C-alpha cells in the first residue's frame, strides 16, 4: 500500500494527513513537492489543507495550475483515488475535478472549531467506514468554505448521492449544508472539515480514524 | 499594450464582503448606498501590438486562471 501527499507552498496540514495515512497503512506516504511534474505510482493521493500560495487570487487557484497538478488531474481522471481536504477541496474545485466553488464564508469570519457532520452516503470508498445517518465530529478551520454551485448542479449532486457529508449546524453558508462532495466516478472527494486532525483520542477526537481506515481498506 | 481586467461576482452570488461594506457605509451616515458589490481589478502589460490578438490572449488568461467562471464575470479593457 503506497500513498502520496502533494505539498504546496503554505500547505499546513500535509504532516497531519501524512500521520493519518501512516496510521491507516503502516507506511509513511511519499511527500511530493508541487514543482515536480511526475507523480509516483500510489494507491491513494491526498491534497492537504493549508493556504497554498497565500490564497492569492482565489483560494486554491494558483495551486490548481501548479506543475504537479497536471499529473494529479490525469491520475484522477484515470480513476486513481484522490482526496482534497480544506484547501485541497478548494484546489479540486479550481481544477474542475469537482463542480462548484468555495467562496468567502457567509458570515465573513474565519471559522475554527469542531463541527458535527451527518453521513449522507456510506457507499463511497471514502465514507464506507461509517453508516448512513451517522454523526461525526471533525474540526474546521477556514475562511473560504462556503460551497456554491447553481441550483441545477446542486439538484444533480443530491440526486446522484454525491453529497457525502453535510453540516448539522452550517458554519459557513454552504449551499444545501454541503461539507463533503464526491465526483461522478466516486474516486475523488473534497471536504472542508479535517478528518486527519481527529485520528486519536490524544488529539481530542478519533472520529476521523474510521475515515482513513475505511478508504485505505477500499483501495488496498 | 496594456490590459485591465475587472472581475466581479455574478449576479445572485452572495457577496458577504460587499454586504459588510454596505453596512459600514450606512454606519458612517451614507444613507441610500445600496447594492454594494466587491470585485477585483488586474492590470498587466502585453507583448502583442494588435488589439484583437491582445484581447484574445487576455480572454484565455481569464478562462484559465484570472476568473472562476462558476461564480465570477470579467470585463476586459485593452489600453494602448
What is the residue-averaged pLDDT of chain A? 97
Taking all residues of chain B, what is their mean pLDDT, rounded to a whole number? 95
Residue-wise pLDDT tens digits, A21-51: 999 999 999 999 999 999 999 999 999 999 9
Tell if the CB–CB gap between B20 and A108 is shorter than 8 Å.
yes
Residue B15: CATH number of its domain: 3.30.1280.10
Radius of gyration of chain A (CA): 15
Query: Are A35 and A66 contacting, i.e. CB atoms less than 8 angstroms apart?
Result: yes
Give the residue from chain A lying closest to B42, CA to CA: A57
Interface contacts A/B by beta carbons within 8 Å: 35
Number of neighbouring beta carbons within 10 Å of residue A168: 13
DSSP B29-62: T-TT-------EEEEEE-S--SHHHHHHHHHHHI
Q: What ipTM was predicted for this assembly?
A: 0.87
Mean pLDDT on A114-132 = 98
According to DSSP, the residues that pair with A99 across neighbouring strands are none
> Per-residue pLDDT tens for A145-191?
999 999 999 999 999 999 999 999 999 999 999 999 999 999 999 99
Residue A206, C-alpha cell as written in the block = 478519533
Residue indicated by cell numbers 466516478 = A185
Taking the C-alpha atoms of residue A120 and residue A172, their distance in angstroms, rounded to an integer, is: 19
Judging contacts by C-beta atoms under 8 Å, the chain A residues touching residue B13 are 103, 148
Residue B12: pLDDT above 90? no
Residue A138: what pLDDT? 98
Residue A174 contacts B where some CB pair is shorter than 8 Å:
no
Q: Which domain holds residue B20?
A: 2-79
Q: Would the pLDDT of B14 be above 90? A: no
CATH number for the domain running over A3-219: 3.40.50.880
Number of domains within chain B: 1
Q: Which of B17, B20, B71 sits opposite A101 (nearest CB)?
A: B71
> Is residue A73 less than 8 Å (CB to CB) from chain B?
no
- Contacts of residue A100 in chain B, CB cutoff 8 Å? 70
CB < 8 Å to B16, chain A: 104-108, 146, 173
Beta pairing partners, A182:
A189
Amino acid at each position: 500500500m503506497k500513498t502520496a501527499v502533494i505539498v504546496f507552498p503554505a500547505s499546513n496540514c500535509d504532516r497531519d494527513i501524512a500521520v493519518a495515512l501512516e496510521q491507516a497503512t503502516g507506511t509513511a506516504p511519499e511527500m511530493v513537492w508541487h514543482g515536480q511534474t511526475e507523480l509516483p505510482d500510489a494507491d491513494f493521493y491526498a491534497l492537504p489543507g493549508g493556504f497554498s500560495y497565500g490564497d492569492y487570487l482565489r483560494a486554491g487557484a494558483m495551486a490548481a495550475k501548479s506543475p504537479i497538478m497536471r499529473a494529479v488531474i490525469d491520475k484522477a481522471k484515470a480513476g486513481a483515488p484522490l482526496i482534497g481536504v480544506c484547501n485541497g477541496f478548494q484546489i479540486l474545485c479550481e481544477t474542475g475535478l469537482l463542480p462548484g466553488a468555495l467562496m468567502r464564508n457567509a458570515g465573513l469570519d474565519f471559522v475554527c472549531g469542531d463541527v458535527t457532520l451527518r453521513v449522507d452516503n456510506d457507499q463511497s470508498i471514502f465514507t464506507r467506514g461509517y453508516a448512513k445517518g451517522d454523526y461525526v465530529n471533525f474540526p474546521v478551520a477556514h475562511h473560504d468554505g462556503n460551497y456554491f454551485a447553481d441550483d441545477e448542479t446542486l439538484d444533480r449532486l443530491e440526486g446522484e448521492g454525491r453529497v457525502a457529508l453535510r453540516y448539522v449546524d452550517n458554519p459557513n453558508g454552504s449551499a444545501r449544508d454541503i461539507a463533503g462532495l464526491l465526483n461522478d466516478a466516486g474516486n475523488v472527494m473534497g471536504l472542508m472539515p479535517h478528518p486527519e486532525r481527529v485520528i486519536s483520542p490524544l488529539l481530542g477526537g478519533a472520529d476521523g480514524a474510521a475515515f482513513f481506515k475505511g478508504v485505505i481498506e477500499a483501495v488496498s | 499594450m496594456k490590459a485591465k481586467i475587472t472581475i466581479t461576482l455574478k449576479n445572485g452570488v452572495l457577496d458577504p464582503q460587499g454586504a459588510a461594506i454596505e453596512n459600514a457605509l450606512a454606519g458612517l451616515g451614507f444613507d441610500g448606498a445600496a447594492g454594494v458589490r466587491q470585485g477585483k481589478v488586474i492590470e498587466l502589460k502585453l507583448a502583442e501590438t494588435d488589439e484583437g490578438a491582445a484581447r484574445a490572449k487576455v480572454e484565455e488568461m481569464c478562462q484559465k486562471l484570472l476568473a472562476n467562471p462558476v461564480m465570477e464575470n470579467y470585463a476586459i479593457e485593452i489600453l494602448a
